[in-house]
Structure 1
């Protein structure tokens, strides 16, 4: 059975906002092996030859934080503090973000990511406080060549405690273009490995169900955004100039995911949902 919700410490917003301006820099080479593993996991095309363009959004797998085992919490996440502020709320997820593409990273290049905390805000949600942390990532290649600018929106929230009956959200509409994805445990495990993401909700089914109270393994927000962005690029025949997305609900490994798209001039609207379910992620690609 799920563990009962635990109390949270008071949130000192002034303390957390002291993290604004804090930055971190990491770098790693885009190896042919990484590109092959990324393409094999997500089913995208890849030319692993030196100098070839790397797959879209492979930067999310570059130089991930590598906390020691002794620095991890029970959920597999690094203990709070360090680069990100120590928000005293137990659940963390990718709430949304945006990518602006400048140039493609190349196989064999060293890619540098400079990350800066740009904002920390506190809101009151239906089930309790929500703390939003905004991080700006600047991705560059050799000689500081701009590759990509990313805004990452992270939300922290309390354990789910609202048991009141709620009206079911409407089912997602069907897009003119569709692509079906089966989120198998193997797919989720491989993406966790690619991004060095130890969060147990993505690969440890007993933990996800019995401790976190989820109906199954949780589909990664970054992976879902990547699949939608790849879908947009495939439909338009080229990578977008910008890609914005926001997470609206959670998807699990208990049902197929349908990627939907509708074209409108130079803009492509995209969304993801399970069969008969509400929109889980909404996105917009501009070319």
Structure 2
């Protein structure tokens, strides 16, 4: 399947967003994650995996489409498929963000790949995000988003078949994905995708049975749990989301025992189905 010349021209394009790592924002993040906001002070280092809360695009309201995303071509390439969902991430964290830093994120269109999948025609967009402070790289990330055709009226959105989660977890943590939690996370990351808060839209337009959990929050909670159970500093991770989770669900975050600074973690739904996997690497 060939890529159109218009989309080919987008590969390699870059956008830069700057943001100060403010104490107020950090304390709001901490409160959302049920941590003590007063425990953070100016100049302190942030948890390594908190970088995704900063330097997000702030699109004008007039540029927002009916699905809550910026219209095609405003921030991301005009891929002619209407449904977009995050799928995976590959991250290395060589540096540290501190409260008070002025951070810069360069977002580059790394690849656009159309393909025929089991669930229909899709296009995979890979974005490369590089975070810098004072010219020094602190985080490098590749992020995959999958674009799909819209479901026909009355048709359910395609999902992967159920796959049982592993049973050899060394630790487990249950979390309730309440509506206020998902709302606060989406607000902090400036994500207005309507499937996360508009049940009528999620059911009627995108074919889901209920509002859909924000995948970024799933990865955030799983990383929080992994960091709490591992010695050392998080140096990188890879993540893959495989099955949707719905707002209001209770999920279980699981992980294996450390293996030479690495650990495998996953998230499962209330029925024991595997919904996402995350492999972490820690430095001494």
- Relative to the length of structure 2, the TM-score reads 0.90
CA RMSD, Structure 1 to Structure 2 (Å): 2.2
Q: In the alignment, what sits opposite 2:147?
A: 156
Of 130-139 and 225-234, deviating more is 225-234
Of the candidates 25, 45, 49, which is equivalent to residue 53 of structure 1?
45
CA 1:109–1:100: 2 relative to 1, 3 Å:
same
Is 1:78 matched with 2:73? no
Find the counterpart in structure 2 of residue 171 from structure 1: 164
What whole-Å deviation, never above 9, does each CA across 1:218-269 have from its counterpart, x for those lacking one?
1111111121122111111333211001111111124201111012332100
Distance 1:91 1:166 in 2: 13
Preserved contact between residue 3 and residue 114 of structure 2 (Cα < 8 Å): no
**Structure 1 position 17 matched with structure 2 position 8:** yes
Aligned counterparts, 1:204-243, within 5 A: 204-243=198-237
Cα shift readout 1:166-209 (whole Å, capped 9, x = no counterpart): 99523213322111111111011001110111111111222222
Unaligned runs of 5+ in 1: 1-9
Gaps of 5+ in 2: none
Cα drift, residue 44 of structure 1:
4.6
Q: Does 1:196 align with 2:190?
A: yes
**SS of residue paired to 1:150:** strand
Q: Is 1:99–2:102 an aligned residue pair?
A: no
The CA distance in 2 between the partners of 1:168 and 1:22, in whole Å, is 36
Q: Number of aligned pairs?
A: 276
- Determine the structure 2 residue equivalent to 1:251: 245
Residue number in structure 1 paired with 2:277: 282
How does the TM-score come out when normalised to structure 1? 0.89
Structure-2 separation of matches of 1:45 and 1:130: 43
In structure 2, C-alpha distance between the alignment counterparts of 1:55 and 1:266, rounded to whole Å: 17
Deviating 4+ runs (over 6 angstroms): none
1:42 aligns to 2:37 (yes or no): no
